[in-house]
Amino acid sequence: MPIYRAPVDDFRFVLNELLEVEKHRDLPGFEELSPDLLEDILVNAGKFCEEVLQPINQSGDEEGCHFENGVVRTPKGFKEAYKAYTEAGWGALAAPTKMGGAGMPMLVALMVGEMAQSANQAFSMYPGLSGAAASALGATGAPWMKEHILKRMIAGEWTGTMCLTEPNCGTDLRLMKTRAVEQPDGTYRLSGTKIFISGGDHDLTDNIIHMVIAKIPDENGKIYDDLSTVNFFMVPKFLVSEDGKMDARNGVATGGIEKKMGIKANATCVLNFDEAVGWRLGPKPTPPKPGEKRSASAGMAGMFGMMNAARLGVGVQGISVGEVAYQNGFAYAHERRVGHALTGPKEPDKPADLEIVHPDVRRMLLHCRAFVEGARAVAMWTTLNMAIAESDRPEKDTAGLLGDIMTPVIKAFFTDMGFEAANMAMQCYGGHGYIRDNGVEQFVRDARINQTYEGANGVQAMDLVGRKLGRKGGAAPMALFGLISGWLGENEGDENLAPFVKPVKRGLDTLQQATLWLAQHGVQNPNDAGAGAVDYLRMMGIVVLAWMWARMAKVAQAKLAAGTGDKTFYEGKLVSARYWMERMIPECPMLFERIQAGSATIMAFEPATA
């Protein structure tokens, strides 16, 4: 049976020694964040994930969700686990206190979310997506919605969904067909079909609040293949009156649940909206004047806010699956005996040595650990920057730029690497990894969706290259490069840090050259930007993690020199940091060479015709 142990020690390290969270008490939500409170949250959340969520992960995958007579039921144990989760308040940590939440920083919710997702990704998606939907409702909803609906969502009494994808429309929202027709009372009637809706229906709560995007037809009933009339709507499964009373079933029916590769314990539904009552969130679209270009509706703003929160959460899922997969691969490598060490038997009295003696097994495990711990630090640093961006600090604008540019990198690079880590951990098992009994193959299946949903990773790469790099005259990449360059300048004279500083500098130099190349060639030929976007995003991810590893190496060296703390822990940090510098930074020149190849060969490819 698979195992999971919450990485509380690593969270402590990043919080206290790398980010020095004590210095950020001036930020909103950080005022009461004492070391004792943080310790209590981490230890108890970790214990909950280990003892309640992890034991039903494999069984939930094997049983899956059930769809019978239009009703969805979750696997055995999920209702009880959800009740315990909400009663403990784990889903309400970052919600405002006036809405019934704990008012903690998003940084705290991120750590708890990572542990929950490692323990049981399918389960964690129910409260996780509810949190994103609740944030959107809190930002755009009417006062009565916040009082009578949002509070119930934060308490976990009701859940929420994100309803974007349609059978003929995924990322390209211009092609959406779901329509919302305004009624005399100011509500709307929505008709259409949404697919791939995670947590779209279930038996965990009495009501589900669907956050839906749809098009408002013009006075002739026509909808257009553009974004000019797209708006954001709240559509509850059961109607809710403005005084908070739950009423009749709304016109939302579950057409079925998807038969999926992974996350089988999460009900991914087809939802049919048949004159369903909805409430518009955000401004009503203004019809364009004659001859005026039809531009994106302001009503999409709430949707983008919800999507960005979800993208950060999905990136953390990449860390989560990498962590639990690594733990299981590591444990198996210390149990399985196969062959002898290349330098001679380590245990001559045994028929074979433990698998961990072999270099390639260690390579795979170290690859997983270096990614997971580096990515965790980057995600927490980015989340801290997002908090600074909401503060009154002078650096808030720069912090906002950093959060903005890192969002697609975290979503795409972390989920790509999480899938790599799951595959490597499974490889440590050999043929036994392919067998369901051992449970590690579930991590591979569950990890695969993370690269696809909330905007496929190729789309994230194009968002980075096509929008984030050039926005505000390139302010975001300049802020990031300046921050890394400044740190390198401060530490380049430290000989002990040279094995970390020099590789980061090489990586940053290559990344800056690639940025300039894309800026020059992408304007001349947009296909060149499209062809190089994925490689560029990976390069940025490698370099940012390398910089974070260099920072962690500096902390570890200082602790070892002072003789304080756990020596083995800090030595392990240095090993992981060196691995990233030696094995990942060398990818940067290769990635740049591929970027410079441009798009000619790729675009010369034509599908074979009959």
CATH number at 280 reads 2.40.110.20
Percentage of the chain beyond pLDDT 70 is 96
pLDDT for the residue 343: 96
DSSP of 497-550 = GHHHHHHHHHHHHHHHHHHHHHHHHHHH-HHHHHHHHHHHHHHHHHHHHHHHHH
pLDDT for the residue 609: 53
CATH number, domain of 336, equals 1.20.140.10
Are residues 320 and 426 both part of a single domain?
yes
Are residues 144 and 183 both part of a single domain?
no
**Residue 262 exposed, middle or buried by CB count within 10 Å (0-12, 13-18, 19+):** buried
474 φ/ψ sector (left φ>0, alpha ψ -120 to 50, else beta): left
Q: What is the pLDDT of residues 35-72, one digit of tens each?
A: 999 999 999 999 999 999 999 999 999 999 999 999 99
Query: What's the domain range around 225?
Result: 159-287
Q: How many CB atoms lie within 10 A of CB 189?
A: 16
Strand partners, 256: 270
Are residues 40 and 110 both part of a single domain?
yes
CATH number, domain of 39, equals 1.10.540.10
Are residues 187 and 281 both part of a single domain?
yes
pLDDT for the residue 173: 79
Are residues 312 and 450 both part of a single domain?
yes
20 φ/ψ sector (left φ>0, alpha ψ -120 to 50, else beta): left
Are residues 468 and 326 both part of a single domain?
no
Are residues 143 and 190 both part of a single domain?
no
In a domain, 274, yes or no: yes
pLDDT for the residue 576: 98
Q: Pick from 126, 155, 184: which residue ends a domain? A: 155
In a domain, 541, yes or no: yes
In a domain, 606, yes or no: no
| 157 is an active site residue | no
**What is the tally of structural domains in the chain?**
4
Cβ contact 89:290 at 8 Å:
no
Contacts with 325 (C-beta within 8 Å, 6 or more apart), sequence order: 368, 421, 422, 424, 425, 426, 440, 443, 444, 447
- Residue ranges in the chain modelled with pLDDT below 50: 610
Are residues 434 and 468 both part of a single domain?
no
In a domain, 3, yes or no: no
Are residues 308 and 424 both part of a single domain?
yes
Are residues 249 and 276 both part of a single domain?
yes
In a domain, 607, yes or no: no
Determine which one of 114, 258, 420, 454 is catalytic. Answer: 454
Are residues 273 and 333 both part of a single domain?
no
Q: What is the pLDDT of residues 573-598, one digit of tens each?
A: 999 999 999 999 999 999 999 999 99
Cβ contact 324:418 at 8 Å:
no
Q: Pick from 455, 486, 505: which residue ends a domain? A: 455
Q: For helices 301-333 and 106-119, give the axis angle rounded to 10 degrees.
A: 50
In a domain, 95, yes or no: yes
In a domain, 296, yes or no: no
pLDDT for the residue 291: 63
Phi and psi, residue 366, nearest 5°: -70, -35
In a domain, 434, yes or no: yes
Are residues 476 and 551 both part of a single domain?
yes
pLDDT for the residue 301: 65
Strands 252-257 and 268-281: antiparallel
pLDDT for the residue 92: 96
